[in-house]
C-alpha cells in the first residue's frame, strides 16, 4: 500500500489503491455521502466517503481508497475512500465557526498554527522559506561561508537602538542586535566572505507595521573591497536572483541617488524635510519617486551622514560628514542597509570615541584589527521586511510565524 499526503498526489496515482494522511479542513455531509477536504498545509485533496462515522474539521485521518480524476474536485483529483481511520479527534468545535474575514490581527497571531491549515496562510510562510533558501543558494555559490554568531553578547552593536538586558550567570549581558562585530572580526582570517541567517533583537517600543522586537536578518560581509559600490552590486545581484527564482520582474539596474539628492527631491516634490536619516514618510515617497522616474520598485540611497551611521562605517575622504554607506528600498521600505567598514585601527578607535563608546569595552573586538585586516564591507537584509514587501502585505507580523512586539510574548 502506498502511503502519501495531499501534496504528493498526482495523476500517476490515478487508479491505484493508496493510503493518504491529512488533517480535515472541511466536511460537506450529504447523508449517504460525505465530501471531505484534507490538507497537509501545502495542498488539499477531496475525499468521497460513504461511511457512517462523524468527521469534523480538525480531525486527523488516514483514508484508504482509489484515486480518480474528477474536474469538479478542487484539484481535479479525488479519492473514493473505502475506509477512514481516525488518528486524532478535534475536541473543540469553535474552529468550525471562525470566519477569517471577521478575525482581527491579534487572533490571527494567537491561532497561527491552526490558520496554517489554510493554503493562503501556508503560502506566505512557504514563500518566506523560499526567499531564505534562494539567498543561501546565491551566497553559497559565491563561495561564501555560512556562519553562526552568538545571540548572547557583552554589548550592543547598533547605535540608536535599545538592547534587551539579561543576567548571564553573574554577568550583565544582552541579546544580540546584529552579528556585525563578529562578521568583521572574521574578515581578519582573509576569508572571501561570510553570510548568516539569524534572529536579532531590538528593545524599541514601536507599534508600527514595519517593526518587531525580534526579527530575522540575512547578514553578509565581504573581504577585499575597494569601493562600497562592490557591496551594492553583490546585494543587487542576490535580490535579482531571488526575484528571478520566484518568477518576478525586476529592473535591469537598480537606480542610485545620494542622500543629498534624496533630501532635495523630498523637499521639492513631496514637501518632506530631512535631517540625517530617512523617515518612514521619506521612504514611502522615495518608493513613489523610483516608480515614477525609473519604473523600479527598488532604489539605492547612498552616502548617508556620519551622524546617522554606526562607528564602524567608513567616512568619505573628501567629505567626512558623509559615509560610504547605502540603504536599499523596496516598494517604499528599507529592506537592507550596508557600508564599507572602517578597518584602520587608529581611525576606528577615534570613531568609537566620537560615538561616546569606551574603547576598553571593545578590546575583544578591536584586538584583531591590530594584526592586519583586509578592506571589507557588508550589509544586513531584513528577511521579514523583504517578504512583506514582496507579497505586498500591510503588517510585518503577517509574515512571521510567531511575531514578537512590545505587547506580544505568546504564543
Q: Could you confirm whether 57 is annotated as catalytic? A: no
Helices (H) and strands (E) in the chain, counts: 11, 17
Active-site option among 78, 283, 334, 342: 334
Element holding 233 (H helix, E strand): helix 228-245
Please indicate whether residue 334 is annotated as part of the active site.
Answer: yes
Exposure string of 373-399, with b = 16+ CB inside 10 Å and e = fewer, is bebbbbbbbbbbbbbbbbeeeeebbbb
State yes or no: is 56 an active-site residue.
Answer: no
Please state at what angle helix 259-270 crosses helix 280-294, rounded to 10 degrees.
Answer: 90
Cβ pair 135, 218 in contact under 8 A? yes
> Using CA atoms, how far apart are residues 209 and 206, in angstroms rounded to an integer?
9
Task: Tell me which of 211, 216, 309, 315 is the catalytic residue.
Answer: 211
Q: How far is it, in rounded angstroms, from Cα 11 to Cα 23?
A: 22
273 given a catalytic annotation? no
Strand 193-201, strand 145-146: pairing: parallel
Helix crossing, 119-141 with 228-245: angle to 10°?
140
**DSSP secondary structure string for all residues of 259-321:** HHHHHHHHHHHH----SSS--HHHHHHHHHHHHHHHS-SEEEEE--BGGGS-TTBPBPSS-TT
Q: Could you give the CA distance from residue 274 to residue 223 in angstroms, rounded to a whole number?
A: 33
Catalytic residue among 337, 341, 342, 397: 337
- Cα–Cα distances (Å) from 79 to 5, 14, 109, 119, in that order, read 12, 9, 33, 20
210 is catalytic: yes
Find out whether 311 and 357 touch, Cβ atoms under 8 Å.
yes
- Among 221, 167, 169, smallest CA distance to 195 is for 221
**In the numeric block, which cell numbers belong to residue 231?**
557591496
Q: In Å, what is the CA distance from 251 to each residue of 29, 230, 255, 333?
A: 51, 18, 9, 17
- DSSP three-state, residue 394: coil
The residue from 112, 136, 154, 210 that is catalytic is 210
- Give start and end residues of each alpha helix (H) in 87-211: 94-97, 105-110, 112-115, 119-141, 180-186
Q: Are 335 and 381 in contact (CB under 8 A)?
A: yes
Catalytic-labelled residue, pool 5, 57, 178, 202: 202
Catalytic: which of 57, 117, 315, 385?
385
Catalytic residues: 202, 204, 210-211, 334, 337, 385
Amino acid at each position: 500500500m502506498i502511503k502519501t499526503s495531499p501534496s504528493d498526489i498526482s495523476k500517476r496515482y490515478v487508479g491505484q489503491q493508496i493510503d493518504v494522511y491529512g488533517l480535515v479542513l472541511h466536511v460537506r455531509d450529504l447523508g449517504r455521502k460525505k465530501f471531505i477536504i484534507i490538507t497537509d498545509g501545502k495542498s488539499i485533496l477531496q475525499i468521497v466517503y460513504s461511511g457512517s462515522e462523524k468527521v469534523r474539521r480538525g480531525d486527523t485521518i488516514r483514508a484508504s481508497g482509489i484515486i480518480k480524476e474528477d474536474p469538479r474536485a478542487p484539484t481535479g483529483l479525488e479519492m473514493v475512500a473505502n475506509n477512514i481511520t481516525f488518528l486524532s479527534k478535534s475536541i473543540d468545535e469553535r474552529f468550525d465557526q471562525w470566519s477569517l474575514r471577521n478575525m482581527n490581527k491579534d487572533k490571527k497571531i494567537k491561532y497561527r498554527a491552526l490558520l496554517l491549515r489554510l493554503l493562503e496562510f501556508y503560502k506566505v510562510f512557504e514563500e518566506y522559506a523560499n526567499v531564505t533558501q534562494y539567498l543561501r543558494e546565491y551566497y553559497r555559490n559565491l563561495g561564501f561561508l555560512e556562519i553562526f554568531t552568538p545571540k548572547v553578547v557583552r554589548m550592543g552593536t547598533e547605535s540608536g537602538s535599545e538592547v534587551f538586558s539579561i543576567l548571564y550567570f553573574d554577568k550583565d549581558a544582552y541579546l544580540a542586535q546584529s552579528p556585525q562585530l563578529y562578521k568583521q572580526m572574521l574578515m581578519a582570517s582573509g576569508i572571501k566572505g561570510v553570510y548568516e541567517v539569524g534572529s536579532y533583537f531590538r528593545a524599541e517600543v514601536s507599534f508600527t507595521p514595519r517593526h518587531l522586537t525580534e526579527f530575522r536578518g540575512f547578514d553578509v560581509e565581504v573581504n577585499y573591497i575597494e569601493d562600497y559600490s562592490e557591496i551594492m552590486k553583490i546585494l543587487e545581484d542576490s535580490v535579482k536572483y531571488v526575484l528571478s527564482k520566484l518568477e518576478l520582474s525586476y529592473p535591469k539596474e537598480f537606480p542610485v541617488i545620494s542622500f543629498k539628492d534624496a533630501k532635495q527631491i523630498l523637499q521639492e516634490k513631496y514637501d518632506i524635510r530631512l535631517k540625517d536619516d530617512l523617515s518612514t514618510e521619506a521612504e514611502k515617497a522615495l518608493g513613489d519617486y523610483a516608480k515614477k522616474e525609473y519604473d523600479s520598485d527598488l532604489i539605492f540611497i547612498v552616502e548617508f551622514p556620519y551622524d546617522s551611521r554606526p562607528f564602524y562605517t567608513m567616512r568619505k575622504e573628501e567629505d567626512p560628514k558623509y559615509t560610504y554607506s547605502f540603504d536599499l528600498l523596496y516598494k517604499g521600505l528599507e529592506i537592507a542597509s550596508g557600508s564599507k567598514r572602517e578597518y584602520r585601527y587608529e581611525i576606528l578607535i577615534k570613531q568609537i570615541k566620537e560615538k561616546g563608546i569606551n574603547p576598553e569595552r571593545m578590546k575583544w573586538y578591536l584586538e584583531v584589527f591590530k594584526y592586519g585586516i583586509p578592506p571589507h564591507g557588508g550589509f544586513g537584509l531584513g528577511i521579514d521586511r523583504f517578504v512583506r514587501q514582496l507579497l505586498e502585505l500591510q503588517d510585518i507580523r503577517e509574515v512571521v510565524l510567531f511575531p514578537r512586539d512590545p505587547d506580544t510574548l505568546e504564543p
